[in-house]
Chain A
Amino acid sequence: MSAAILIVAVVLIVLALVFYLVSVIFALQKITKGLDATIASVGEIVAKTDPVAPVVDDINANLDAAVSALEGLLVKKAGMADAVGLVDGLYPGAAADGFREFPDSSSVRAPRISEVYTKGTLTLARLGREAPIATASPAGGPVLRNITGGSLAARLLYPADRPGRSPIIGTNAPVQYEAPDADPSAV
């Protein structure tokens, strides 16, 4: 009787061991298959991303060169203050960052160009002070600038002092540009 009970106990334990251990083996086999698929996909990811870094570095190098050249050209042609004002007009807040190649540009007080000109006319306004953008739109549409209020609006560009390079015109101007023998009827 006692031997039978012992045998039954051992057999039950062995059966439990076999059932659960075989189940664990099957589960581990599923895990192995899943990890094999994962490793294959990760290998593909590694292979596909391997050439990305040098290509992106080359793209960034080209873009950096372009940014440096354009910043230099803009500062050369427009002057530091107007250049910062133009960029800040197109990208509000950019004046605080300044230009990459001009560390001192972040401390420049930018004129409020964007408050006078629309974004489309910012470049034209800077490219030539004498550009006739007030009288004709390049696209043939409505005038982009307020002609009658243009003089007042232009003062907003320089809230502090007006730069000396802009000529002062009018009857009270210190320099009269009309020729002494000009025909007044032609004006």
Chain B
Amino acid sequence: MIVVGLVLLIVVLPVVIVLLKGVLDAANAIVPSVDRIAVAAHAGSADLDAVPLLLTTQRQVKETVANVAAYGGSLDVILDDAS
């Protein structure tokens, strides 16, 4: 009985402590990484707040292309062809 108790104290307990400490350290190391990922994802989401401006860009591109087409049509009329 004494031997079993000593083995538990001298061998099993240190091994259990080392293994559990390793698990705890790994878990604690993940926490700051997850926090940084959350901050980055939030910042990325905030950056995309300007996405609706693409609709303005789309409308302006259509208007510009229409104006360019009209201008090109006029040039086609007033300028002679190369050949």
Contact surface of A with B, Cβ cutoff 8 Å: 1-3, 5-6, 8-10, 12-13, 16-17, 19-21, 23-24, 27-28, 30-31, 34-35, 37-38, 41-42, 44-45, 48-49, 51-52, 55-56, 58-59, 62-63, 65-66, 69-70, 73, 75-79, 82, 127-128
Contact = CB atoms under 8 A, between A and B. Distances in A.
Contacts of B2: 1-2, 5
Interface residues of B, number: 48
Contact of A48 (B9, B38, B48): B48
Contact of A77 (B62, B65, B79): B79
Contacts of A59: 54, 57-58, 61
Contacts of B21: 20
Interface of B: 1-2, 4-6, 8-9, 12-13, 16-17, 20-21, 23-24, 27-28, 30-31, 34-35, 37-38, 41-42, 44-45, 48-49, 51, 54-55, 57-58, 61-62, 64-65, 68-69, 72, 75-76, 79-83
A70 B68 CA distance: 8
A41 to B, nearest CB: 3
A13 B12 contact: yes
Contacts of A10: 8
Contacts of A28: 27
A58 B55 CA distance: 10
4 smallest A-B Cβ distances: which pairs? A20-B20, A34-B34, A41-B41, A5-B5
Given A6-B4, A62-B61, A70-B72, A37 B42 contact: yes
